[in-house]
Structure 1
Amino acid sequence: MKKVRGIFLKNDLEIASMREAGRIVAIILRELREAVKPGVKTMVFEEIARKRCDDFKVKPAFLGMYGFPYALCCSVNEEVVHGFPSERVLVDGDLVSFDMGVVYDGFYGDSATTVPVGAVNGDREKLLRVTKESLEAGIAEARAGNDLYDISRAVQKYVEEHGLSVVRRFVGHGIGRKLHEKPEIPNFEPKGAPRVPLLPGMVLAIEPMVTAGGPDVEVLSDNWTAVTKDRSLSAHFEHTVAVTKNGPRILSLAD
């Protein structure tokens, strides 16, 4: 593993381990999506996540990190990130975001998705679609020779063109032997920031957090759950992506 400007570059073997970590995360997220329905308590998703970590013999990445008390971040509606699984019962029309990570062979995998409870349309469908497509727009820019903030610019432009807002308080990040490595990856273009050239071997967790209202958030009294300040709905999608000579490679897919 090489280090350039404080950023760790991974070799093929290290990326292979991260691919397996990402594959496991993707399988867990798929099973969580399949379990979403009205009447389910969100603590059920925590139980699924822990059981599947045991089955795969991997460590839940978030459990105990900085004191976080769960394996899964489970955020509903206006909760943007870092929500707690609980006795809350899902109802038709809710949006539930899952952020999951594991440690495999010393490397982290990290991914997130937002799932509708029952059928949704209108503003809810638009929020989910635009957030997911903004992630795709950002990933498309994760190419060697581009600048890191090409990713940020693509996400921000796509979201704001559709009349939605990107959260600025929380950002994506490099990932590897640590969950949070350099560089930070904002979902907006920071003014005056120095260029950060993208190089083969960089692995990035790109994660747009998008709201139907304003961009501002606040943290609740549990000191973890971040909610939209105006209590508008929020969505969150994330993939772990390797920068390669042949373009971006998504590591957090099930297949």
Structure 2
Amino acid sequence: MGFRDRGIEIKTPEQIDLMRVAGRLVGETLELLREAVRPGATTLELDTLAETNIRDHGGIPSFKGYSHPPFPATICASVNDEVVHGIPGPRVLAEGDVISIDCGAIVEGWHGDAAITVPVGEVADEVTELLRVTEESLWRGMAAARLGGRVTDISHAVETYVRGQGRYGILEDYTGHGIGTEMHMPPNVPNVGRRGRGPTLVEGLALAVEPMVTLGSKHTDLLEDEWTVATVDGSFAAHFEHTFTLTDRGAWVLTAVDGGAARLAELGVPFGGR
């Protein structure tokens, strides 16, 4: 493992394989939670399910105790106008809500980090479209990454896709990030920007890409719990995230259960997984 470009961590292939173990655990946990989302469920129930699954499979929750004030839970559970970092608790999910679930796990010192936004029962058509646009922008961002390219090639692809779909707000104050032996590492991965800027994309660099998109304003407030970020105008928000890397064969989505093979193929991107 080496470091270059202002603290960026470059992993060996063997270390990327270890990150894949953590990433798959995160992906499987999120799929378990997706199935558990329903009207009447509480965000605390989802958090308990996530922690049990992670620990039962040899992992440690990345978020629990993180930063200051220490984050108190295993997942971030952000409902409706809450964009990110919502704290699980007694809140009961209702028909028509959406919940963004962010999850991280550590296995043998290596992190995986991913997020999904899930409708609770039937939701408005514009909300369904918001979720589709946000998730697709994530895949378009990863699909734009090439060895020798730059980090903002990803940013530009995310922004271009979202802007081409309608009038949405794209958060600029919260970004994706490098990941490896720590959950948040250089470089930042913005969700807007011009191509060809930022650090070079090289083998061994792992990035968490995470577009956050709203039905209204891009501006947010930090709530009194000092964690939850919500839209200033009360508009619904969506958040999708994957941890991925590039090999000499193509892209490898470490937190997708199938490594991203199916979606990458649809986008014409070579699969670089092992």
Please classify the TM superposition score into its range, dividing by the shorter chain length.
over 0.9
Deviates more, 1:158-167 or 1:79-88: 158-167
Please state whether the residue corresponding to 2:73 is helix, strand or coil. Answer: coil
Distance 1:225 1:54 in 2: 25
Name 2:186's counterpart in structure 1.
182
1:129: which partner in 2? Answer: 132
Aligned partners of 1:200 and 1:244 also within 8 Å: yes
Shift in alpha-carbon separation, 1:190–1:84, aligned structure 2, 3 A: farther
Residues 161-200 of structure 1: per-residue CA shift (max 9 Å, x gap): 2221210111000000000111000101169x95421111
- Residues 21-170 of structure 1 correspond to what in structure 2 (within 5 A)? 21-66=22-67, 67-162=70-165, 163-170=167-174
Aligned partner (choices 207, 212, 215) of residue 215 of structure 2: 212
**Secondary structure at 1:89 match in 2:** coil
Contact 2:78 2:100 in 1 (8 A): yes
Secondary structure at the aligned position of 2:180 is classed as coil
Q: Segments of 4+ in structure 1 off by > 4 A? A: none
Aligned to 1:2: 2
CA distance in 1, matches of 2:204, 2:144: 15
Q: Distance in 1 between matches of 2:108 and 2:173?
A: 31
- Structure 2 vs 1, CA of residues 194 and 148 (structure 1 numbering), >3 Å: closer, same or farther? closer
Question: AA paired with 2:2?
Answer: K
Please report the TM-score for the alignment, with normalisation by the length of structure 2.
0.90
Question: What is the one-letter code of the residue matched to 1:173?
Answer: H
Q: Deviations over 1:134-183 (max 9, x none)?
A: 00110101210211101001111111222212101110000000001110
Q: Structure 1: any 5+ residue segments left out of the alignment? A: none
Identical residues among aligned pairs (%): 44
> CA–CA distance in 2 between the matches of 1:190 and 1:104?
35
> Is the Cα–Cα contact under 8 Å of residues 170 and 191 in structure 2 kept in the other structure?
yes
Aligned length in residues: 254
**AA aligned opposite 2:159:** Q
The higher relative CO (CA closer than 8 Å, separation ≥ 6) is in 1
How big is the shift at 1:121?
4.3
CA RMSD after TM alignment = 1.4
Gaps of 5+ in 2: 259-274
Q: Secondary structure at the match of 1:65?
A: coil
Q: TM-score, normalised by structure 1?
A: 0.96
* Contact 1:142 1:247 (8 Å CA) reproduced: no
Structure 2 vs 1, CA of residues 190 and 229 (structure 1 numbering), >3 Å: closer, same or farther? farther
Q: CA deviation at 1:120?
A: 2.6
Deviation track 1:46-104 (CA, whole Å, cap 9, x = no partner) reads 11011112211211000001111111100000000000111111111100010000000
Q: Is the 8 A contact 1:143 1:244 kept in 2?
A: no
Once residues 92 and 42 of structure 1 are traced to their aligned partners in structure 2, the CA distance between those partners, rounded to angstroms, is 14
Amino acid of the structure 1 residue aligned with 2:228? T
